[in-house]
Amino acid sequence: DAMVIQNPRYQVTQFGKPVTLSCSQTLNHNVMYWYQQKSSQAPKLLFHYYDKDFNNEADTPDNFQSRRPNTSFCFLDIRSPGLGDAAMYLCATSRAGGYEQYFGPGTRLTVT
Amino acid sequence: ELKVEQNPLFLSMQEGKNYTIYCNYSTTSDRLYWYRQDPGKSLESLFVLLSNGAVKQEGRLMASLDTKARLSTLHITAAVHDLSATYFCAVAPYGGATNKLIFGTGTLLAVQP
Three-class secondary structure of residue B99 per DSSP: coil
CA distances from A34 to A23, A24, A43, A68, A107 (A): 9, 12, 10, 12, 11
Check: CB of residue A59 under 8 Å from CB of residue B111. no
Check: CB of residue A75 under 8 Å from CB of residue B75. no
* Nearest alpha-carbon partner for A65 in A57, A73, A51, A75: A75
Whether chain B has a CB inside 8 Å of the CB on A81: the answer is no
Question: From the list A42, A50, A55, which residue is nearest B88 (CB)?
Answer: A42
pLDDT at residue B113 greater than cutoff 90 = no
Summarize the confidence of residues B69-90 as an average pLDDT: 97
A38-92 tens-digit pLDDT: 999 999 999 999 999 999 999 999 999 999 999 999 999 999 999 999 999 999 9
Backbone angles phi, psi at A40, to 5 degrees: 60, 25
For residue A92, the distance in angstroms to the closest alpha carbon of chain B comes to 10
Whether chain B has a CB inside 8 Å of the CB on A100: the answer is yes
Q: Do B103 and A44 touch (CB under 8 A)?
A: yes
For residue A6, the distance in angstroms to the closest alpha carbon of chain B comes to 11
| pLDDT band at residue A106 under the 50/70/90 scheme | very high
Cβ-based contacts of A42 with chain B (< 8 Å): 88, 103-106
